[in-house]
Homo-oligomer: A and B are copies of this chain.
């Protein structure tokens, strides 16, 4: 009788443990997952985001880049003016039109700094931002463009390079909350 009681109470404890481990597995972020917000369109910061994310993907980490605000400019293919009001045309004009057109976060010196950095990158055979974007796509880094920023800044999907998913902040949060690595760049 005692043995039966013990066994059944032990079984209850094991069942509880199984439930707890399942809930813990659901609630703990994963060390093999990384989600980066790319807010800036500075060339040096874009490079940092792409180096980290492609390296993470090459270690088989489930990796996402969420481009928002100025960061959207990194994904642009070309300037589009048609169908935009005066404010959005101005914005179009004054922001970089894609990965080839970025400036530095400091020491930009009217573009001389960016040119210098590109030279140094070539010398050391570091990939350009454009080449890194292609590598990221090849390595299954998920590339999201923030829908709210796109709407606010008047950027449409046709203006962006291929392979980008348009998504909202809820999608970002779903990726990020389960990620061991979360950065805002």
Q: CB-CB < 8 A to A40: which residues of B?
A: 105
A45 to chain B, nearest CB (A): 7
Contact B7 A120 (CB under 8 A): no
Nearest first, the 5 closest Cβ-Cβ pairs linking A and B are A183-B184, A28-B28, A31-B177, A29-B180, A55-B169
Contact A183 B182 (CB under 8 A): yes
Instruction: Using known A-B contacts A55-B169, A152-B121, A180-B29, determine if residue A116 contacts B95 with beta carbons closer than 8 Å.
Output: no
User: Is A17's CB within 8 Å of the partner chain B?
Assistant: yes
User: Is A79's CB within 8 Å of the partner chain B?
Assistant: no
Q: How many copies does the complex hold?
A: 3
Instruction: Using known A-B contacts A13-B14, A121-B152, A169-B51, determine if residue A176 contacts B180 with beta carbons closer than 8 Å.
Output: yes
Q: How many residues of A contact B (CB 8 A)?
A: 72
Closest residue of chain B to A42 (Cβ to Cβ) is: B106
Closest residue of chain B to A52 (Cβ to Cβ) is: B169
Q: List 15 A-B contacts (CB under 8 A).
A: A10-B10, A10-B11, A14-B14, A17-B18, A21-B24, A28-B29, A29-B180, A34-B177, A37-B48, A37-B52, A44-B69, A44-B70, A70-B105, A173-B181, A181-B182
Instruction: Using known A-B contacts A37-B183, A120-B88, determine if residue A177 contacts B61 with beta carbons closer than 8 Å.
Output: yes
User: Is A110's CB within 8 Å of the partner chain B?
Assistant: no
Q: CB-CB < 8 A to A154: which residues of B?
A: 120
User: Is A91's CB within 8 Å of the partner chain B?
Assistant: yes
User: Is A179's CB within 8 Å of the partner chain B?
Assistant: yes
